[in-house]
């Protein structure tokens, strides 16, 4: 099967969008982030909200498609073993490495995000039970923090944990869809518009989305919400006619997405705002997948390289972004300039780390959830991979 270059390109765009989201979060008024500018920007807040509403649900939808195509060539045991290697290994490694840097930066900034929510950070001396006047640097914090639950964070790596658990939970459905012959019959357009309102009502009724703290333990409403999108992605793999209709309706979905997000911006954190979150997300997923198939790129070495880089870049980018953000956020520049600087510098640093520290080395590739050898062909199987990478 020829690799889906449209989905590869969409993964790359979504990864860049998540990095941009994190850059905007520094300047957003939303308090739930690792570092914050003293002067929040309404522009940053509304842009971050749009990216957060739309990006992760699209990732989970692609993951559902990938899971079904993978199960067509693998047994359930092989599928879950691969998921464990490609999701749980980088999750654990990421918590110990990237997560440690993130937690240190966060606490040095006077903040403490965790299962408890957000609170003012105690001093590192108090957390590590040493004398208050003893100066502590990063290597006083690490590796001692690894034995203290409150000094560990998975931060953005929550996606890997959720994806693994949702894959396990949905495995019977994924397997059933994988064993069906694909149905190419084109659906009525109305069918694709119908789920929007029920999803919005679910978000409102379950008080999902806000506050955005994906810690699993207190986040079951969002966990189920993301599972719905993964199930939708799986359905697309089983019924290609869905995708054909999304392609045809993509411009309308984009307009409805914009209108629905205006509702999010107007109502904010409220019952009505949550309804519009659900509407925006659904229309965004349908628009993104529809436009991706309309503008499918040709297979190329650059696309193959960036597709393979997506998962490791996602894993390592956040620590780099926070360190860059600390240096940039107080510069006398407009917010958009600081965000652009943080975003581009983070992408450059993350790609450099991937290219020289991860890609050439087999042990590092394994730790980053990658295959053992770099891709050498621009054609490969469709989606043996999690949502982010092969």
Is 163 a residue whose pLDDT tops 90? Answer: yes
Q: Residue 88's pLDDT is what?
A: 98
Q: Residue 389's pLDDT is what?
A: 45
Q: Residue 1's pLDDT is what?
A: 58
Average pLDDT over residues 222-235: 98
Is 148 a residue whose pLDDT tops 90? Answer: no
Helix (H, G, I), strand (E, B) or coil at 135: coil
pTM score, whole prediction? 0.93
Place of tokens 């499918």: 296
Long-range contacts of 214-221 (CB under 8 A, 24+ apart): 214/158, 214/159, 214/162, 215/114, 215/115, 215/158, 216/158, 216/161, 216/162, 216/165, 217/115, 218/115
pLDDT band at 385 (very low <50, low <70, confident <90, very high): very low
pLDDT tens digit sequence for 269-299:
999 999 999 999 999 999 999 999 999 999 9
CA angle 366, 222, 47 (to 5 degrees): 85
Phi and psi at residue 385, to the nearest 5°: -110, 165
Asked whether 282 and 196 are in contact (CB, 8 A), the reply is yes
Query: Tokens in use for 114?
Result: 């965790």
pLDDT band at 379 (very low <50, low <70, confident <90, very high): very low
pLDDT band at 200 (very low <50, low <70, confident <90, very high): very high
CA dihedral 77, 83, 88, 91 (to 10 degrees): 180
User: In whole numbers, what is the pLDDT of the chain averaged over residues?
Assistant: 92
Average pLDDT over residues 198-225: 95
Q: Residue 343's pLDDT is what?
A: 99
Asked whether 73 and 381 are in contact (CB, 8 A), the reply is yes
Burial (CB count <10 Å: 0-12, 13-18, 19+), residue 85: middle
Helix (H, G, I), strand (E, B) or coil at 385: coil
Question: How many Cα atoms are found within 13 Å in the side-chain-facing hemisphere of 104?
Answer: 21
Is 182 a residue whose pLDDT tops 90? Answer: no
């Amino acid at each position: 099967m020829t690799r889906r270059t449209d989905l590869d390109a969409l993964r790359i765009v979504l990864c860049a969008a998540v990095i941009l989201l994190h850059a905007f979060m520094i300047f957003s008024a939303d308090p739930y982030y690792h570092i914050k500018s003293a002067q929040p920007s309404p522009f940053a807040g509304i842009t971050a909200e749009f990216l957060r509403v739309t990006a992760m649900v699209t990732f989970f939808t692609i993951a559902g498609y990938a899971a079904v195509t993978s199960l067509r060539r693998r047994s359930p045991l092989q599928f879950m073993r691969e998921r464990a290697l490609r999701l749980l290994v980088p999750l654990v490694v990421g918590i110990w490495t990237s997560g440690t840097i993130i937690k240190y930066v966060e606490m040095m900034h006077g903040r403490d995000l965790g299962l408890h929510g957000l609170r003012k950070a105690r001093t590192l001396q108090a957390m590590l039970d040493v004398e208050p006047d003893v100066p502590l640097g990063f290597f006083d914090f690490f590796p001692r923090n690894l034995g203290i639950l409150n000094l560990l964070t998975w931060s953005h790596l929550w996606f890997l944990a959720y994806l693994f658990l949702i894959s396990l939970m949905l495995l019977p459905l994924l397997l059933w869809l994988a064993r069906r012959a694909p149905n190419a019959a084109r659906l009525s357009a109305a069918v694709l518009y119908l789920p929007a309102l029920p999803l919005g009502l679910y978000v409102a009724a379950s008080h999902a989305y806000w506050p955005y703290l994906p810690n699993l333990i207190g986040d079951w409403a969002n966990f189920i919400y993301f599972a719905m999108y993964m199930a939708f992605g799986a359905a697309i793999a089983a019924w290609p006619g869905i995708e054909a209709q999304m392609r045809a309706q993509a411009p309308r979905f984009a307009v409805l997405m914009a209108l629905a997000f205006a509702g999010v911006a107007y109502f904010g954190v409220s019952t009505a705002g949550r309804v519009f979150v659900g509407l925006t997300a659904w229309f965004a997923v349908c628009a993104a997948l529809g436009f991706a198939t309309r503008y499918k790129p040709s297979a190329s070495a650059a696309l193959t390289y960036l597709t393979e880089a997506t998962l490791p870049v996602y894993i390592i980018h956040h620590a780099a972004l926070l360190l860059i953000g600390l240096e940039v956020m107080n510069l006398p520049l407009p917010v958009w300039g600081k965000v652009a600087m943080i975003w581009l510098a983070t992408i450059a640093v993350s790609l450099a780390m991937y290219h020289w520290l991860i890609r050439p080395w087999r042990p590092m590739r394994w730790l980053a959830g990658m295959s053992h050898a770099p891709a050498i062909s621009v054609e490969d199987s469709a989606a043996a991979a999690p949502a982010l990478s092969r």
